[in-house]
């Protein structure tokens, strides 16, 4: 689906595989489990027999042509977590094979973003598959929500050579990234929807200052909702910076 919101960092997503289960506090109001999965099930886009706690592979989407049609910044497996331990390693490699093939067939090559909370599994697979570093079209992103998840997951991200992204969403507490930089991009967002948990602008300011001191691109997705419209302004401006070569 093409993404037109200014708060979205992606141009498109590609979901040949779906599935996940809650993993940490950031998953409490999971957009996929509580929103996308029941909605798509109601529409009949997910087979009746597939349960919420299972992964499912869409054979028709697990194909180069279905990815080749997508441009810009493409989220690879947004409906769940590709590195969930229920997803067989063989399937993860099949997804990466398709990304590699699609990238080599494009005249203007998109940027493909992988992301996960299971940072160790992602780092193990990517460092083995790409020992010299990620290809330029591929980025690895790790989601964190507080200092504990930052300290647990970001050393794993550091093991990967190439474009690395820290996604702080939903931001649930103060965080310092001082032991975890540099990376190539930092993105921050609050939780959204009814029951969204609080984000403090001071937490976001601190991250912005750490990131900008290192000259790293910084993006704010949203800082809460006001009358159903997301709030994105911090200290008088929007923060919409992308890494070099990333174009929506």
Q: Which residues bind ligand SF4 (CB under 6 A)?
A: 20, 22-23, 27, 30, 32-33, 80-81, 117
192: which strand partners?
none
Q: Taking the alpha carbons of 209, 210, 216, 222 in that order, is the dihedral positive or negative?
A: negative
Nearer to ligand SF4 by Cβ, of 184 and 191: the residue is 191
Instruction: Output the smallest distance, CB 234 to ligand SF4, in A.
Output: 24
Q: Cα–Cα distance between 91 and 19 in angstroms, integer?
A: 13
Nearer to ligand SF4 by Cβ, of 11 and 116: the residue is 116
Q: What does DSSP assign to residue 240?
A: B
Q: What does DSSP assign to residue 32?
A: I
Q: Cα–Cα distance between 147 and 124 in angstroms, integer?
A: 23
The answer for residues whose C-beta is within 8 angstroms of residue 51's C-beta and 6 or more apart is none
Nearer to ligand SF4 by Cβ, of 32 and 137: the residue is 32
Instruction: Output the smallest distance, CB 30 to ligand SF4, in A.
Output: 3
Angle value at C-alpha 8, between 183 and 167, nearest 5 degrees: 30
Nearer to ligand SF4 by Cβ, of 20 and 188: the residue is 20
Nearer to ligand SF4 by Cβ, of 11 and 15: the residue is 15
Instruction: Output the smallest distance, CB 22 to ligand SF4, in A.
Output: 5
Q: Taking the alpha carbons of 73, 64, 132, 107 in that order, is the dihedral positive or negative?
A: negative
Structure tokens at 190: 């609050």
Q: Taking the alpha carbons of 185, 25, 117, 77 in that order, is the dihedral positive or negative?
A: negative
Instruction: Output the smallest distance, CB 146 to ligand SF4, in A.
Output: 14
188: which strand partners?
168, 220
Nearer to ligand SF4 by Cβ, of 111 and 118: the residue is 118
């Amino acid at each position: 689906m093409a993404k037109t919101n200014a708060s979205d960092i992606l141009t498109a997503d590609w979901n040949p595989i779906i599935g996940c289960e809650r993993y940490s506090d950031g998953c409490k109001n999971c957009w996929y489990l509580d929103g996308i999965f029941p909605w798509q099930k109601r529409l009949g886009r997910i087979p009746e027999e597939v349960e919420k706690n299972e992964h499912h592979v869409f054979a028709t989407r697990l194909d180069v042509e279905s990815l080749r049609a997508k441009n810009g910044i493409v989220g690879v497996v947004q409906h769940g977590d590709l590195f969930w331990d229920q997803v067989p390693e063989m399937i993860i490699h099949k997804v990466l094979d398709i990304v590699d093939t699609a990238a080599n067939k494009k005249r203007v090559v998109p940027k493909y973003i992988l992301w996960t909370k299971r940072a160790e599994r992602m780092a193990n697979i990517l460092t083995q598959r790409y020992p010299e570093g990620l290809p330029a079209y591929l980025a690895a992103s790790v989601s964190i929500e507080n200092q504990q998840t930052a300290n647990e997951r970001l050393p794993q991200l550091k093991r990967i050579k190439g474009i690395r992204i820290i996604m702080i969403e939903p931001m649930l507490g103060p965080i310092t990234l001082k032991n975890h930089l540099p990376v190539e991009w930092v993105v921050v967002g609050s939780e959204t929807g009814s029951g969204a948990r609080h984000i403090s602008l001071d937490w976001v300011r601190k991250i912005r200052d750490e990131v900008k001191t290192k000259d790293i691109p910084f993006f704010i997705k949203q800082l809460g909702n006001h009358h159903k419209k997301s709030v994105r302004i911090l200290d008088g401006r929007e923060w919409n910076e992308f890494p070099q070569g990333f174009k929506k």
